[in-house]
Structures are given as structure tokens and as C-alpha cells.
Amino acid sequence: MKDALSITASAVDPGLLSLPWSQPLSKWPSEVIVSLPKGLSRHLVRFADLSGSVVAVKETTEEMARREYEMLGNLARLDVPCVSRVAVIAGRTDSRGNPLPAALVTSHLKFSMPYRALFTRVLRPDTATRLVDALALLLVRLHNVGFYWGDVSLSNALFRRDAGAFAAYLVDAETGELHEEGLTDGQRAYDLDLARTNIAGEILDLAAGGRLERGVDAVAIADGIVSSYRSLWAALTEHESFAAGEAWRITERVERLNALGFDIGEMSIQTTADGTRVEIEPKVVDAGHHQRRLIRLTGLDVEENQARRLLNDLDEFRARSTKHWADEEMYAHEWLTRVFEPVVRAIPYDLRAKLEPAEVFHQVLEHRWYMSQAQGRSVPLAEVLTSYINEVLRHRRDEATIMGPPTETMSLPVITGSVPVDGEDADVDWRDLV
């Protein structure tokens, strides 16, 4: 008697039962496969249609699948940016009763891209730097909650646009370890050194294929994660001492962390025996300062830099208002209904998969600034929207789900086309997106 199929999930989607688990993942029919870009992986990974949504399916051992499933659940509870777990499928057998690998199923992160999908022919140095900075912030957040990654690389993360920057999400937690007591300096240093080595290898691999802009130093790009990480980690954790009369420096430290996107949940404050000096050290630091404020005021759940940009526009709206409300929430509601939502609603339905709403709003504000500078006047928002939709957004590729060719056509001749990426037109080799 062959083993029964075993599905472990927090909420089982009936559609899981209809996927062809009795076939090796490499043989799944094109009707269930969704062609999306994916990063490099030691395991076979395919995207599939599950009840109208997209999931990633990875074949691995049952032990590793269950371990990673539990780890992703723990990281989600700690509010760390990572893909969402869906299920573990074990007990798979083919039509002849031969065992098949277990599978880990995770949700596809909408509007996210592997790093190779963020460039076309050539990786520009400014794009590479922004990706490395995003990965450094993710690594700081992971280390801050006691997570040792053990396989830090651009390939093991997904990236979403974040108001001119990128936000990184952990994809592969297979090698990770969660330490409730926190990480040692040695563990953090090893993870950071591994990140530098892997990134250098990934960038050099692009250079070997002629995919790196001439004159760009791949090692220097990789070194950037070390400096970015150390700067952020010091801001979050360093011990600070000052004279008792400089108590304002406590507020300054909090504001500095807020500007970086972090809140202090707990701080250790001690005075010397003679009362002449004060020592402070953050104990509990949580990311998402601007995200939390925006959610509280408007209910919008966006990336951190997007939240910062939207809040700046909200604050400017409040400063221009002739009303004198006592509650900030009232200004926020009026800004939401009179400024943000009309911009989002103005985007034609067929273009709404290009970018997520908060990123569209950020880019509209950027477009308005450039138009106003070029024309020497304050351009009305309606005019800006028309220009942005027709001249910018309409020519972008969809990023809700960036499509490549079906897996079965990978051996066919290359399909190329001209599409704008980061504001520039370039030829796309779609093989890089799958």
C-alpha cells in the first residue's frame, strides 16, 4: 500500500489537492505552471496557480521542508520581511508508487522581483548599490531578532520597489537558525562575511557574462553591504555616554533611529555614582516606524520608504490646510480621500499591475517635481497624472507578476523586446527573468 499524501498547513486551500503531486515538479503540465522570474536555487522551484493566486513550489526533503515551514512561521510572527508559508506536502508517490521529494509551498510575493529581473542587459552600479543596501537592512532586522541566516545572498531574497530604494524579503530560510538569546558577534560577523562573498560572486558572474557596466568594481559593490550593515547596527545598538546636562541627547538618539525607520521599545538609562554622566543603550528596537504611523493614520500598509514619502506629503497637506483641527487623524482622512485615493483611482484598470499604488503615488510626486522644474511653474496634479500615465507608466512592464515564457519554451530562440527599466529603455533577454 502506498503512503497517503500528507498536507501540513495553517489554512488548507482545497486547490492544493488538485495540483499534480503524483508527478515530479519538473514534469508538471503547463496548465498549472505560472511563468515568473525566480532566483538561483539549489532546489527545483516552480510557480503554480493555486485557486487564482500564485505559489512557489520547492522540492526538497521532508525534514528540510518542515523545518523551513516552521522557520518561516516564526519569522512572520517576529514581523520580519519574508515570504509567507502555505503548506508542506509529504508522502508523494508517482503513478508506480515510487517516492517523490516532499514540497514546500510558499505564497508569491506580489510586486516582488529577484535581483536579476531588476536589470536588463547591464546592471547599473546605482541599482546594485540599492539592492545591497536593502539586503543589509534585511540582515540587520534578522540579526536583531536573533536569526542567523547562514546563506545570505542576493539570490535568496526578493526585492520590491520602495520609493526610489528597494525593500528586501527573505526567500530561503532553509539554513537559518533562530536564537532566542540573540546572536554572538562571531555569528553576525560570519553571516556578514558570507553575504560579502556571495554578493561578490553573483556580481562577478554577471561581469563574466557581460552584464555589468564597464568600470564597475564588483568587489566594491559587495563591500558595500559591510559598511551599510555596520552603520545600521551601530545606530541600533551602540552604547552612548554624555554629561548629565545633555539629556536632550536621549531625544536626539530616538529621533535618529526614527529617521532610519526604527522605534525604540525599551532603552537602558543609567547614571554614574556621582550623577555627572548618563549612559544609554537601546534594548528593544523595532523596524517600521513610518509604516506604523501611516497605518494608524490612514490604514495604508506600504513599505517603509513609501510610508515616509506619503507621510511627508500628508504633513505638507496639513501645513497648507486652512482648517484648524486638533486631531491629526482628521487631516489624514481628508488627505486620503482628496489626494491619495483620487490619484490611485485615476490609473486605468489595465495599467494597475504595473506598480503597487503607493509606488505609483511616489512616482507621480517625483514626476510633478520634474515637470514643475522644467516648466518653471507649479503644475496641477491632473496635468501631472495625464503626463505620468501616458509618458511613464504605460511603458513600464507589469511588476505585479512579471511574466516570462513558459518553462517548456526555454530552449527556443531568445525573445527580446524594448521595455523601460528604471526609467530607461533596454533590450530584455527574457531568459534572465525565469
Helix (H, G, I), strand (E, B) or coil at 423: coil
Q: What are the grid coordinates assigned to 400, written together?
A: 505585479
Distance CA 249, CA 263 (A): 16
Instruction: Give me the pLDDT at residue 40, please.
Output: 61
Task: Give me the residue spans of the domains in the chain.
Answer: 6-107, 112-236, 238-287, 290-395
- Amino acid, res. 283: K
217 secondary structure, DSSP code: -
Instruction: Per residue of the chain (434 residues), give pLDDT as tens.
Output: 456 889 999 887 888 989 999 999 999 998 888 876 555 667 789 999 998 889 999 999 999 999 999 999 999 999 999 999 999 999 999 988 899 999 999 999 888 888 888 765 677 778 889 999 999 999 999 999 999 999 999 999 999 999 888 999 999 999 999 998 999 999 999 999 999 999 999 988 888 877 777 777 888 999 999 999 999 999 888 888 878 778 788 888 888 888 888 888 788 888 888 777 888 778 777 888 899 999 999 999 999 999 999 999 999 988 888 888 878 899 999 999 999 999 999 999 999 888 899 999 999 999 999 999 999 998 888 899 999 999 999 988 777 654 433 333 322 233 233 333 333 333 333 223 22
98 C-beta neighbours (distance < 10 Å), count = 10
Closest CA to 140 of 77, 231, 240, 220: 231
Radius of gyration over every alpha carbon of the chain, rounded to an integer in angstroms = 24
Q: What are the grid coordinates assigned to 88, written together?
A: 508542506
From residue 101, how far is each of 93, 177, 381 by CA, in Å? 8, 23, 55
Q: Is domain 6-107 annotated with CATH 3.40.50? A: no
Question: Grid coordinates 529621533 are at which residue?
Answer: 255
Q: What are the grid coordinates assigned to 52, written together?
A: 487564482
Question: Does the predicted TM-score (pTM) go above 0.85?
Answer: no
For the chain, the first-to-last Cα distance in angstroms comes to 38
Do domains 6-107 and 112-236 share one topology? The answer is no
Q: What are the grid coordinates assigned to 263, written together?
A: 522605534
- Compute the C-alpha angle 299/300/305, nearest 5°: 135
Say which CATH topology domain 112-236 has: Transferase(Phosphotransferase); domain 1 (1.10.510)
Distance CA 303, CA 134 (A): 12
Closest CA to 408 of 35, 113, 38: 35
Q: Where are the alpha helices (DSSP H) in 209-327?
A: 218-237, 248-260, 289-298, 304-320
Q: Quick check: 39 and 156 in contact, CB under 8 A?
A: yes
The Cβ-side half-sphere exposure at 192, using a 13 Å CA radius, reads: 24
> Which residues lie below 8 Å from residue 214, measured CB to CB, with a gap of 6+?
none
Instruction: Give me the pLDDT at residue 99, please.
Output: 94
> Which residues lie below 8 Å from residue 434, measured CB to CB, with a gap of 6+?
35, 36, 37, 38, 404, 405, 407, 410
- Compute the C-alpha angle 24/29/30, nearest 5°: 135
> Which residues lie below 8 Å from residue 114, measured CB to CB, with a gap of 6+?
37, 38, 39, 155, 158, 159
Distance CA 339, CA 331 (A): 11
Instruction: Give me the pLDDT at residue 405, please.
Output: 35
